[in-house]
Amino acid sequence: MVGPPNKRQKREQYKSERGEDAKKTQELPKKKFYRQRAHANPFSDHHLVYPISPDHMDWSSYYPAFVTTPEEDQANPVTDIDIDIGRARPLKKNVEVADIGCGFGGLLVALAPVLPDTLLLGMEIRTQVTEYVQERIKALRAQNPDTGLYQNIGCLRANAMKFLPNFFKKHQLSKIFFCFPDPHFKARKHKARIVSTTLNSEYAYVLRPGGIIYTITDVEDLHNWMVSHFDAHPSFERVPEEEQEADDCVKIMRVETEEGKKVERNKGPKFVALFRRLEDPPW
* Binding-site residue set: 101, 124-125, 159-160, 179, 257-259
Q: Please name every residue paired with 213 in a beta bridge, in sequence order, or none if there are none.
A: 176, 275
Residue of 21, 182, 221, 248 with catalytic role? 182
Among residue numbers 91 through 120, which ones bind another protein (CB under 8 A)?
none
Binding string to another protein for residues 196 to 235, with x set by CB under 8 A, is what? xxxxxxx-xx------------xxxxx-xx--xx-xxxxx
Q: Which of 7, 185, 238, 248 binds another protein (CB under 8 A)?
A: 185
153 vs 195 by CB, closer to another protein: 195
DSSP secondary structure letters along 55-66: GG---TTT-GGG
Query: Is there a catalytic annotation at residue 146?
Result: no
Smaller CB separation from another protein, 214 or 236:
236
Among the listed residues 102, 249, 263, 273, the single contact to another protein using CB under 8 A: 263
Q: Cα(59)–Cα(149) distance, rounded to whole angstroms?
A: 18
DSSP state of 92: S
For the chain, first and last CA: distance in Å? 51
Query: For another protein, which stretch binds (CB under 8 A), given 135-143, 145-153, 159-167, 246-254?
Result: 159-167
Contact 34, 128 (CB under 8 A): yes
Note whether 40 binds another protein by CB under 8 A. yes
9 part of the interface to another protein, by CB under 8 A: no
**Shortest CA distance to 97 belongs to which of 152, 159, 166, 163?**
152
Q: In what order do the strands lie in the sheet with 119-124?
A: 153-157, 119-124, 95-100, 173-179, 207-217, 271-277, 236-238
Q: Provide the phi-psi class of 118: left if phi over 0, else alpha when psi is between -120 and 50, else beta.
A: beta
DSSP assignments along 65-84, one per residue: GGSPPHHHHHHSPPPHHHHH
Q: In 3D, which of 168, 152, 204 has the Cα closest to residue 55?
A: 168
- Binding of residue 151 to another protein (CB under 8 A): no
Binding residue for another protein, selected from 45, 71, 80, 242, defined by CB under 8 A: 45
Taking the complex as a whole, how short is the minimal distance between the CB of residue 218 and another protein, in angstroms? 5
> In angstroms, what is the minimal distance from the CB of 167 to another protein?
11
How much of the chain is helix, strand and coil, in % rounded to 5? 45, 15, 40
Closest CB to another protein among residues 142, 161: 161
By residue count, the chain amounts to 283
Task: Tell whether residue 90 is a contact of another protein (CB under 8 A).
Answer: no
Active site residues: 182
Judged by the rule CB under 8 A, the positions of this chain that interact with another protein are 40-47, 52-54, 85, 127-128, 161-163, 165-166, 170, 183, 185, 187, 190-191, 196-202, 204-205, 218-222, 224-225, 228-229, 231-235, 262-263, 266-269, 280-281, 283
